[in-house]
């Protein structure tokens, strides 16, 4: 009986550990990030504001381009021909992160871009986007690619 209880306890611990490694994103209303930047999370394991300059720079140079590429590939951006959109600059305005079995990043950013429109004219513009990305922990011999979980336009309240 003691062996059975020990096995059950070990199995339960594995299930709990596995469940904690799952990336669960809270539902949010359109236009909202899953964090309140400027206010630390009140729950353990929640999203925390990104305040370190190096972290913000990494989000701006590494993650924002991935999010914009994903958005531009699946959406009509100002009547631009999809393959003609070229980002000129990225500016992260708000960012937070959540440590899980890797890191979830949630951020708002503005992108300036140039493109050719469907009427074959040159155009430029900017768009404000929200994005959530997941960056896995580096594991020996495994792909640690960053995944764009969601990207959507910022909406005014």
Query: What CATH number is given to the structural domain containing 100?
Result: 3.10.450.10
Name the 3-class secondary structure at 95. Answer: strand
Provide the strand spans (E) within 28-121: 48-49, 86-100, 102-116
Report how far residue 26's alpha carbon sits from residue 97's, in angstroms, rounded to the nearest whole number: 13
Q: What is the mean pLDDT of residues 93-105?
A: 93
DSSP-based three-state secondary structure for 4: helix
Q: pLDDT tens digits for 106-150?
A: 999 999 999 998 889 999 999 999 999 999 888 776 767 899 999
pLDDT at 35: 81
Owner of token pair 């959406």: 75
Residue 29 domain flag? no
Q: What is the pLDDT of residues 1-33, one digit of tens each?
A: 444 333 333 333 333 332 333 333 334 444 578
Per-residue pLDDT, averaged over 95-116, amounts to 94
Q: Supply the DSSP symbol for 156.
A: -
Compute the average pLDDT of residues 35-43: 62
For the chain, how many structural domains are there in total?
A: 1
Instruction: Give me the domain span that covers residue 122.
Output: 46-157
Whether residue 143 lies inside any domain: the answer is: yes
* pLDDT value of residue 116: 92
Residue 137 forms part of a structural domain:
yes
**pLDDT (0 to 100) of residue 76:** 84
Whether 58 is in a domain gets the answer: yes
> What is the pLDDT, as a whole number, of residue 4?
39
Mean of all residue pLDDT scores within the chain: 78
pTM for the complete prediction?
0.74
> Looking at residue 40, what is its pLDDT?
57
**99: nearest Cα among 21, 40, 17:** 21
């Amino acid at each position: 009986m003691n062996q059975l209880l020990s096995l059950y306890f070990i199995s339960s611990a594995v299930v709990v550990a596995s469940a904690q490694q799952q990336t669960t994103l809270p539902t949010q209303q359109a236009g909202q990030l899953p964090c309140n930047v400027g206010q630390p999370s009140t729950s353990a394991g929640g999203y925390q504001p990104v305040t370190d300059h190096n972290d913000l720079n990494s989000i701006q140079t590494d993650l924002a381009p991935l999010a914009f590429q994903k958005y531009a590939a699946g959406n009509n951006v100002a009547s631009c021909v999809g393959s003609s959109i070229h980002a000129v600059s990225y500016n992260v305005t708000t960012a937070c992160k959540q440590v899980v079995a890797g890191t979830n990043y949630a951020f708002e950013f503005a992108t300036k871009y140039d493109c050719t429109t469907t009427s074959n004219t040159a155009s430029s513009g900017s768009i404000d986007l929200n994005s959530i990305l997941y960056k896995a922990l580096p594991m020996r011999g495994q792909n640690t690619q960053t995944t764009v979980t969601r990207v959507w336009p910022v909406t005014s309240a």
